[in-house]
Amino acid sequence: MNKRQKINKIFLLLFFVIFSYNAVGQFNTLLPKDKIKEEAVDEIIAEEQGTNKTAPRQVQPLQPIKIDDEKQYVIDGMNKRQNLALPIDEIKINSPYGYRNDPFTGKRTFHRGVDMDADFNYVYSIMPGKVVKSGRNRELGEFIQVEHGEFITTYGHLFQRLVSMKEAVEAGQPIGISGSSGRSTGEHLHFGILFNGKSIDPLPILNYIQYVMQEAKIELEKAISNFNINQ
């Protein structure tokens, strides 16, 4: 099987995963980034002083927006067909997939994911799925793994996890906040994908998701514009 056939197979399986879920993306009220930073500093100071008794932050649902039934039907339909999201609001990759010089040892090692710039950003599940790991280890620090059929996505070096083991998540649902925990030289998001248990380059999948989201946005804008014209 050549490289093009392998990529096509992955995309077909990705489509299968997307359409096998009927969940509509859920939007949440999120803290402003400057507020996150203030609370992050407060929590770190409190931990050092042994006075951190605050409960973990909870993401509260946004109050529903009033919108007429016809437009809501279009929006719901677009969400169901899309069911995809990028793992972070703005993708800027600073360390690609594959062999690289280890930032700690300088030795040539294989990087099983991509590293993205982050600044206490919310981190999102890229597809509907189920949390299969939510914890901490020496390498990834605070991390989350989400299973989406034959795909498993990994989100590492988080400041905080917002989901627990066995929790069902939707595409675009905030599952964590980026940080610099674990074996990290600075804040970033490590994002990896396993396909049938084997590591693959996430970049083609991320490019595909971005393309689908852009096309969905154009289609949605056209549909809403047509409703406005016909009213």
Domains and CATH numbers, the chain: 3-230 (2.70.70.10)
Give the integer Cα–Cα distance in Å for 157 and 146.
15
Q: In whole angstroms, what separates CA 214 from the centre of its chain?
A: 17
Find the length of the chain. 231
Give the integer Cα–Cα distance in Å for 111 and 104.
13
pLDDT, position 221: 80
Give the integer Cα–Cα distance in Å for 99 and 107.
10
CA distances from residue 129 to 107, 145, 149, 171 in whole angstroms, order as listed: 36, 10, 8, 8
Mean pLDDT by 10 residues, the chain (231 residues): 54 47 36 54 54 46 51 57 83 87 81 91 94 94 95 95 94 93 88 95 92 81 73 60
pLDDT, position 113: 92
Which residue has tokens 């994908």?
193
- Residue 36 CB-half CA count within 13 A: 18
pLDDT, position 19: 42
Q: Are the beta carbons of 212 and 204 closer than 8 angstroms?
A: no
